[in-house]
């Protein structure tokens, strides 16, 4: 296995999303910590396009520092929008992200399943960046149909998996607390519906421990469909992302 550094480092240090200037600063700091492998993100259309425009400089900085970008994650909540035009635009942006992943020589590209289109009364999960431990209340619109959202999700993720596959890149999705796919079994259901072996899991110990999952069982369920590991620790009650050893995750389990 190889140790890499998540983009959560950059957004925790420089904000969400980091400006391009701070993207360079984050890359410098990751190298300063001794990492050789890192992630990169494009958050929404403006930031994703800014990263695209700056791709040559960013890759050169990585090369100069001996860093390799191994995973590119576009953050595009409209991938699951019920507005067809918005969803189509997000799918086109995802294809741009695949181009970036390919340019950087990434092995994987990643997506989330995003927050369901419910009316949040108060705080909304991931409105800006991860807000660990939040409690959320929702109001269900009478017109909301989970089945319609599920079909959208399957269709969008199928597109993403194929787009990555055509570029020779593996696609992975991370179940996260509060999102449409929040646990291992939901991810397995989505994998079954998409039915493409180029679709794998990001096993995130922080989110899944907070989701009250038995991590070694998640590993058994996913097996070789685990394409990527995100590791952090917490107490199993809130989805904090603390240093390994500061919580109650049993790290001898996931591998």
Partner 1 sequence: MKHGYSGYVAIDVGRVPDLDLQYRESVCYLKALSQRLGFELEG
* Interaction site with partner 1 (CB under 8 A): 1-6, 8-9, 11-13, 29, 33-37, 39, 70-71, 107, 129-130, 132, 204, 206, 219, 223-224, 226-232, 240-246, 251-252, 255
- To the nearest whole angstrom, how small is the minimum distance from the Cβ of residue 90 to partner 1? 24
Nearest approach, Cβ of 189 to partner 1 (angstroms)?
A: 20
Segment (H or E) for 127: none
Q: Which is nearer to partner 1, 136 or 150 (CB)?
A: 136
Nearer to partner 1, 32 or 122 (CB): 32
CA–CA gap between residue 250 and residue 217 (Å, rounded): 12
- Residue 111 beta carbon to partner 1: minimum distance, rounded to whole angstroms: 16
In the complex, minimum distance from the CB of residue 108 to partner 1, in angstroms, rounded to a whole number: 8
Residue nearer to partner 1 on the CB measure, 2 or 212: 2
Taking the complex as a whole, the smallest distance from the CB of residue 63 to partner 1 amounts, in Å, to 17
**Residue of 180, 148, 167 lying closest to 77 (CA atoms):** 180
Report the chain's terminal Cα–Cα distance, integer Å.
10
In the complex, least distance from residue 101 CB atom to partner 1, rounded to whole angstroms = 14
Q: Are 9 and 39 in contact (CB under 8 A)?
A: no
* Closer residue to partner 1 (CB): 129 or 151: 129
Residue 137: C-alpha distances to residues 54, 113, 121 (Å): 40, 19, 5
SS3 for 77?
Answer: helix
Q: Which is nearer to partner 1, 57 or 168 (CB)?
A: 168
Q: Are the beta carbons of 34 and 67 closer than 8 angstroms? A: no
Q: Return the closest-CA partner of residue 69 out of 13, 109, 22, 33.
A: 109
Closest distance to partner 1 from the beta carbon of 70 (Å) = 6
By C-beta, is 214 or 219 nearer to partner 1?
219
Do the bridges between strand 119-120 and strand 199-204 make them parallel or antiparallel, or are there none, so unpaired?
unpaired
Query: Between 29 and 95, whose beta carbon lies closer to partner 1?
Result: 29
For 160, the token pair is: 């993403």
Radius of gyration (Cα) for the chain, nearest Å?
18
| 55 contact partners, CB below 8 Å, separation of at least 6 | 100, 103, 104
């Amino acid at each position: 296995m190889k140790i890499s550094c998540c983009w959560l480092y950059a957004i925790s240090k420089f904000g969400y999303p980091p400006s391009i200037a701070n993207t360079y600063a984050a890359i410098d700091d990751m190298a300063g910590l001794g990492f050789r492998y890192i992630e990169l993100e494009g958050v929404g259309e403006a930031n994703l396009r800014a990263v695209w425009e700056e791709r040559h400089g960013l890759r050169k900085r990585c090369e100069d520092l001996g860093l390799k970008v191994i995973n590119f994650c576009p953050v595009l909540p409209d991938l699951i929008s019920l507005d067809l035009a918005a969803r189509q635009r997000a799918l086109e942006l995802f294809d741009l992200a695949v181009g970036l992943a390919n340019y950087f020589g990434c092995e994987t590209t990643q997506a989330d399943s995003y927050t369901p289109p419910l009316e949040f009364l108060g705080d909304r999960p991931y409105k800006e960046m991860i807000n660990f431990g939040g409690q959320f209340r929702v109001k269900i619109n009478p017109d909301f149909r989970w089945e319609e959202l599920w079909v959208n999700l399957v269709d969008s993720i199928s597109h993403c998996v194929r787009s990555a596959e055509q570029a020779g890149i593996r696609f992975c999705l991370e179940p996260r607390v509060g999102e449409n796919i929040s646990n291992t079994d939901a991810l397995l259901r989505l994998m079954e519906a998409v039915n493409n072996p180029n679709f794998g899991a990001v096993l995130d110990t922080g989110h899944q421990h907070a989701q009250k999952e038995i991590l070694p069982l998640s590993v058994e369920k996913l097996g070789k469909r685990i394409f990527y590991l995100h590791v952090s620790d917490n107490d199993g009650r809130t989805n904090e992302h603390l240093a390994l050893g500061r919580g109650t995750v049993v790290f001898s389990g996931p591998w």
